[in-house]
A and B are shown apart, each in its own frame.
Chain A
Amino acid sequence: MFEAILLTVMTAATPLVIAAMGELVAERSGVLNLGVEGMMIMGAVCAFATAHMTGSPYLGILAGIGGGALFSLLFGFLTLTLVTNQVATGLALTILGLGVSGQLGESFVGLAGTKLQPIVVPVLSDIPFIGRVLFAQDLIFYLSIALIIGVNWFLFRSRTGLKMRAVGDNHGSAHALGINVVRTRYLAVLFGGACAGLAGAQLSLVYTPQWVENMSAGRGWIALALVVFASWRPWRILAGGYLFGAVTIGQLHAQAFGVGIPSQFLSALPYAATIVVLVIISHNRRTTLINTPASLGKPFVPDR
């Protein structure tokens, strides 16, 4: 049974981790995109529709990534080229995404989905206990782990990553050094959109292979919170995502098991846990300041 619970937790945590990784990169470049929920739901509908029409969940994944990225491009154009307010634009993107996806997905409601099948790694999946949990998963789970390793390496071990962090910390200086701030941010926003789209694809292809309007149900917002929770560190997103997933699933099990705690309290537990950890993390103000991108959310207009 423990294995089954663990698998459920992983399914619940994967979309959060992926979307948060994308947002982390965008925020490290100094862009606050509150439209994660909108991009995620666009990814979900594009993935479901494509998988349904072609019968291939892998094409669905590509469509999800594409849908999310394309949608984030709209955000990029508005906030980076037209220099609109990032907070307002992000909120608008979420509302727009929920509406547009509902419209696009109307004819797909109630249709049987195409579930992404797990890829069983030979030999490794035979390792007792952890084998089946870690090495008999679907492609999107493997991608989520690859993403963390990749983003961590990119941000802290590569020259381009260093430049990107410089843009996020002080876009004026980065510009003076000859780094193309707007282009860097466009790429970061696109990456964020692609990740949110991939997370959406996980929702409509793995988590619950179906299309329901509004099916992201606030997971984009949780991903946003995770970025702060992780204080902009990739590995902490993994920890935060799985902690959140574990508490969410744990409370359902606690209910089914019949512990005498009111269900409303149990439902609120994941959020309460998030707040507690946030308080603990922000206790040390210096480390918080070091990790927070200093130019986060600030508009940049290059002086020519």
Chain B
Amino acid sequence: MKKLIIALAASAAVLGGMSGAAQAQEKTKVCFIYVGPKTDGGWTQAHDIGRMALEKALGDKIETAFLENVPEGPDAERAIERMARSNCAMIYTTSFGFMDATMKVAAKFPKVKFEHATGFKASENVATYNARFYEGRYIQGQIAARMSKKGLAGYIASFPIPEVVMGINAFELGAKSVNPDFKIKVVWANTWADPGKEADAAKALVDQGVDILTQHTDTTAPIQVAAERGIMAFGQASDMIAAGPKTQLTAIVDTWGPYYIKRTKAALEGTWKSEQIWDGLKDGILTMAPYTNMPDDVKAMAEETEAKIKSGELHPFTGPINRQDGSEWLKAGEKADDKTLLGMNFYVEGVDDQLPK
């Protein structure tokens, strides 16, 4: 018993010393929750590159920590709470599925600033941030319509959440702006990152005759399949050109670094407010990987569309647009408002799939 007490006292002293040291440094702790491994070559890696950029820019004032492979669902709440308890002043939760968990933990820790990626719920201390990925997908759709001989693209989707549905719609609208008869086939992999399953989905789509592939899952497996079968594909979240040097047409590249630096700075200076930020191509939060493996005129078209989106001249969701069942959604010239887009739960006309409910 005596030994135990001594041990406890000793460890208490050590712990006390540690927290003393931490106070002496006075570095603000900024934390990140990742849904996948930080080296997934896609979504999570893009966030981790952002984290490293943040550390590089503000390393004298802050330190960062992260938890990777945090499953969406009840476990997420525990992980976020653990972060909040370990003196994180600011927590970025980087996946849609962390939304409710973030809200719950944020209510318990009013002094901690939370930033949730791609969600639509916010509060006093929860801001949301997102990138207008659909802008990039619209460009991809246009390229696909020009490059596909059959007018049929395969779309490997993850989960039926608004973000993904919006991407499918934008791709279809872009393609239809070039070829009104363009069709897409959708396969739901029901995973963010499982290379085997993504490859199987890609093979199934190719076997059913698509000659262009695009994906909303995170690994490079679909591009590898496309390369093997001799068709073209688009990369997702990171530039995936290494997986298919002769296959990738372009990729949507997420560039979170500048955003993380801006917001963390605001938090340090005390000017941080809960906002719902949704930046696009013009803000540099997403960029297009070099347009490769396509003729010059297709490349010129893609660059022109990109410039028009950046200048605000073109909004991909501009009417007339019908819903999948043919009913009218947007009148001619009408633009979709952000709220509808962020909660999108229906397909536009031309998508050859039944949306899982």
* Count class of interface residues, chain B: 35 or more
- Asked whether any CB of chain A lies closer than 8 Å to the CB of B53, the reply is no
**CB-based contact A214/B224 at 8 Å:** no
One digit per residue, 1 when the CB lies within 8 angstroms of any chain A CB and 0 when it does not, for chain B 30-63 equals 0000001101110001000000000000000000
Most buried by B among A248, A252, A256: A256
Given contacts A8-B204, A252-B187, A256-B205, contact A210 B356 (CB under 8 A): no
Which A residues touch B185, using CB under 8 A? 256, 258
Most buried by A among B185, B190, B191, B196: B196
**CB-based contact B208/A253 at 8 Å:** yes
**CB-based contact B221/A267 at 8 Å:** no
**CB-based contact A256/B208 at 8 Å:** yes
**CB-based contact B353/A258 at 8 Å:** yes
Given contacts A212-B37, A258-B354, A263-B190, contact A252 B221 (CB under 8 A): no
- Nearest-Cβ distance from residue B343 to partner chain A, whole angstroms: 20
- Asked whether any CB of chain A lies closer than 8 Å to the CB of B352, the reply is yes
- Nearest-Cβ distance from residue B179 to partner chain A, whole angstroms: 20
- Asked whether any CB of chain B lies closer than 8 Å to the CB of A129, the reply is no
Alpha-carbon separation in the docked complex, A112 to B41 (Å): 12
- Nearest-Cβ distance from residue B196 to partner chain A, whole angstroms: 5
Which B residues touch A210, using CB under 8 A? 195, 219-221, 224, 243
**CB-based contact A217/B208 at 8 Å:** no
**CB-based contact B190/A212 at 8 Å:** no
Closest residue of chain B to A15, judged by CB?
Answer: B196
**CB-based contact B357/A262 at 8 Å:** yes
**CB-based contact B207/A5 at 8 Å:** yes
Stretch at the interface among A67-75, A190-198, A201-209, A228-236: A201-209
- Nearest-Cβ distance from residue A295 to partner chain B, whole angstroms: 34
Q: Is the interface of A mostly helix, strand, loop or mixed?
A: helix
**CB-based contact A109/B242 at 8 Å:** no
Alpha-carbon separation in the docked complex, A1 to B205 (Å): 11
- Asked whether any CB of chain A lies closer than 8 Å to the CB of B69, the reply is yes
- Asked whether any CB of chain A lies closer than 8 Å to the CB of B203, the reply is yes
- Nearest-Cβ distance from residue B254 to partner chain A, whole angstroms: 15
- Nearest-Cβ distance from residue A78 to partner chain B, whole angstroms: 25
**CB-based contact A110/B41 at 8 Å:** yes
- Asked whether any CB of chain B lies closer than 8 Å to the CB of A264, the reply is yes
**CB-based contact A217/B200 at 8 Å:** no
Closest residue of chain A to B188, judged by CB?
Answer: A263
Alpha-carbon separation in the docked complex, A105 to B195 (Å): 15
One digit per residue, 1 when the CB lies within 8 angstroms of any chain B CB and 0 when it does not, for chain A 245-280 equals 000110011011110101110010000000000000
Closest residue of chain B to A260, judged by CB?
Answer: B354
**CB-based contact B357/A212 at 8 Å:** no
**CB-based contact A212/B200 at 8 Å:** no
Which B residues touch A12, using CB under 8 A? 196, 200
Alpha-carbon separation in the docked complex, A249 to B189 (Å): 11
Alpha-carbon separation in the docked complex, A255 to B191 (Å): 15
**CB-based contact A263/B196 at 8 Å:** no
- Asked whether any CB of chain B lies closer than 8 Å to the CB of A213, the reply is yes
Alpha-carbon separation in the docked complex, A256 to B208 (Å): 7
Which B residues touch A255, using CB under 8 A? 186-188, 204, 353
* Count class of interface residues, chain A: 35 or more
- Nearest-Cβ distance from residue B298 to partner chain A, whole angstroms: 26
Given contacts A256-B204, A256-B205, A257-B208, contact A203 B356 (CB under 8 A): no
Given contacts A214-B69, A255-B187, A256-B185, contact A264 B200 (CB under 8 A): no
- Asked whether any CB of chain B lies closer than 8 Å to the CB of A4, the reply is yes
Alpha-carbon separation in the docked complex, A210 to B189 (Å): 19
Which residues 1-44 in A have Cβ within 8 Å of B in the complex?
1, 4-5, 8, 12
**CB-based contact A214/B196 at 8 Å:** no
Alpha-carbon separation in the docked complex, A203 to B221 (Å): 11
Which residues 59-117 in A have Cβ within 8 Å of B in the complex?
102, 105-106, 109-113
- Nearest-Cβ distance from residue A64 to partner chain B, whole angstroms: 16
**CB-based contact A213/B191 at 8 Å:** no
Closest residue of chain A to B204, judged by CB?
Answer: A252
- Asked whether any CB of chain A lies closer than 8 Å to the CB of B275, the reply is no
**CB-based contact B199/A207 at 8 Å:** yes
One digit per residue, 1 when the CB lies within 8 angstroms of any chain B CB and 0 when it does not, for chain A 262-304 equals 1110010000000000000000000000000000000000000
- Nearest-Cβ distance from residue A211 to partner chain B, whole angstroms: 9
Which B residues touch A249, using CB under 8 A? 200, 203-204
Give which listed residue, A110, A248, A263, A264, contacts B39 with CB less than 8 A. Answer: A110
**CB-based contact B208/A213 at 8 Å:** no
- Asked whether any CB of chain B lies closer than 8 Å to the CB of A219, the reply is yes
Which B residues touch A113, using CB under 8 A? 224
Most buried by B among A8, A112, A255, A264: A255
- Nearest-Cβ distance from residue A250 to partner chain B, whole angstroms: 9
- Asked whether any CB of chain B lies closer than 8 Å to the CB of A243, the reply is no
- Asked whether any CB of chain B lies closer than 8 Å to the CB of A225, the reply is no
Which residues 111-143 in B have Cβ within 8 Å of A in the complex?
none
Alpha-carbon separation in the docked complex, A65 to B204 (Å): 30
- Nearest-Cβ distance from residue A267 to partner chain B, whole angstroms: 5
- Asked whether any CB of chain B lies closer than 8 Å to the CB of A239, the reply is no
**CB-based contact A8/B203 at 8 Å:** yes
Given contacts A219-B196, A248-B200, A260-B354, contact A212 B243 (CB under 8 A): no
- Nearest-Cβ distance from residue B84 to partner chain A, whole angstroms: 24
Which residues 299-325 in B have Cβ within 8 Å of A in the complex?
none
- Nearest-Cβ distance from residue A206 to partner chain B, whole angstroms: 10
Give which listed residue, B39, B195, B196, B203, contacts A4 with CB less than 8 A. Answer: B203
Alpha-carbon separation in the docked complex, A78 to B196 (Å): 32
**CB-based contact A264/B37 at 8 Å:** no
Most buried by B among A105, A203, A212, A267: A212
Chain A residues packing against B (C-beta within 8 Å)? 1, 4-5, 8, 12, 102, 105-106, 109-113, 203, 207-210, 212-215, 217, 219, 248-249, 252-253, 255-258, 260, 262-264, 267
| 16 A–B contacts, CB within 8 A, in A order | A1-B208, A207-B195, A207-B199, A208-B196, A208-B199, A210-B195, A212-B195, A212-B221, A213-B40, A213-B69, A214-B193, A248-B197, A249-B203, A253-B204, A258-B185, A260-B354
